[in-house]
């Protein structure tokens, strides 16, 4: 469901449309988007040699059928100790669920990298100062290239600045500074994004301008007195 959410968001669908398509409240959709600043996270991959989601599903089905660890290990071509450890570390036979275990395994394997602005205090301070003066990320990048072009430590892209601004959980840019961007948006949106399908963008029984009746000219209409005189 999250993969479908991000696919629709990247294609430009509005939160309202995504909400109706996946059957979740708009607030829930926005919470998922806001956690990543509206920027789709990179696809997570398990390390080679680790149990895959398909293998974990086979383990789950085998446990539900009452098969032994040895039987499941033989079916998957894995060591019995691997199956025993996998089940034991994830609640045992009665509570083992493949999807939940896969999510936990990916979370444990995560190696979060410090973002660029957090790793370069001088660059962060300069970007923060210019953001407080209501400069756009594009203007900040142009300024840095012009006045600090020979300093590799002051190189940054506007997308990196946007990512640091909108991903508030990183706590690199203060929340009050994030609100000073000219767009006033709480999350990053791509150029294909549209408000089509949102309730606020819909006019009930809208009538095209071409189908509206022509206004009648009266003595109070502009140009009437000029025509008379």
Helix segments in 151-201, DSSP class H: 158-166, 175-178
Report which of residues 10 and 45 the model is more confident about. 10
CA distance 1 to 170: 25
C-alpha separations of 140 from 115, 121, 189 in Å: 18, 16, 19
pTM of the full structure: 0.59
Task: Please enumerate in sequence order all residues whose Cβ is within 8 A of that of 136, keeping only pairs 6 or more positions apart, or say none.
Answer: 158, 181, 182
CA distance 154 to 125: 11
Q: What angle do CA 71, 75, 76 make, to 5 degrees?
A: 120
Instruction: Tell me what pLDDT residue 38 has.
Output: 86
| pLDDT higher than 70, residue 15 | yes
Q: What is the pLDDT of residues 156-178, one digit of tens each?
A: 999 899 988 888 878 888 888 87
* Contact (CB, 8 A) for 173 and 131: yes
CA distance 154 to 208: 52
Q: What is the pLDDT of residues 22-67, one digit of tens each?
A: 999 999 999 999 888 888 887 777 677 789 999 999 999 999 999 9
Instruction: Tell me what pLDDT residue 202 has.
Output: 52
Mean pLDDT, range 117-141, rounded to an integer: 93
Reported as a pLDDT band with limits 50, 70 and 90, residue 74 is very high
CA distance 54 to 52: 5
Mean pLDDT, range 82-95, rounded to an integer: 93
Q: What angle do CA 6, 11, 13 make, to 5 degrees?
A: 85
Q: What angle do CA 200, 206, 211 make, to 5 degrees?
A: 155
Chain position carrying tokens 């961007």: 181
Helix 137-147 and helix 121-132, axial crossing angle in degrees, nearest 10: 130
Give me the residue spans of the domains in the chain: 2-35, 53-108
CA distance 167 to 178: 10
Chain position carrying tokens 């012009």: 146
């Amino acid at each position: 469901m999250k993969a479908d959410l991000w696919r629709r968001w990247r294609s430009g669908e509005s939160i309202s449309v995504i909400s109706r398509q996946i059957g979740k409240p708009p607030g829930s959709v926005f919470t998922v988007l806001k956690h990543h600043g509206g920027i789709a996270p990179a696809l997570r991959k398990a390390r080679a040699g680790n149990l895959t989601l398909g293998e974990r599903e086979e383990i789950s089905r085998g446990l539900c059928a009452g098969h032994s660890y040895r039987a499941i290990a033989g079916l998957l071509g894995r060591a019995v100790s691997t199956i025993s450890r996998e089940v034991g570390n994830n609640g045992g036979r009665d509570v083992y669920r493949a999807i939940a275990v896969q999510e936990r395994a990916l979370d444990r394997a995560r190696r979060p990298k410090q973002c660029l602005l957090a790793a370069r205090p001088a660059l962060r301070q300069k970007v923060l100062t210019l953001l407080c003066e209501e400069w756009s990320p594009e203007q900040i990048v142009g300024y840095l290239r012009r006045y600090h072009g020979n300093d590799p430590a002051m190189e940054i892209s506007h997308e990196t600045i946007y990512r640091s601004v909108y991903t508030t959980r990183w706590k690199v840019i203060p929340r009050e500074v994030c609100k000073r961007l000219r767009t006033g948006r709480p999350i990053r949106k791509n150029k294909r994004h549209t408000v089509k399908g949102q309730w606020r963008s819909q006019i009930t029984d809208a009538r095209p301008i071409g189908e509206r009746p022509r206004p009648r000219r009266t003595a109070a209409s502009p140009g009437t007195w000029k025509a008379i005189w």
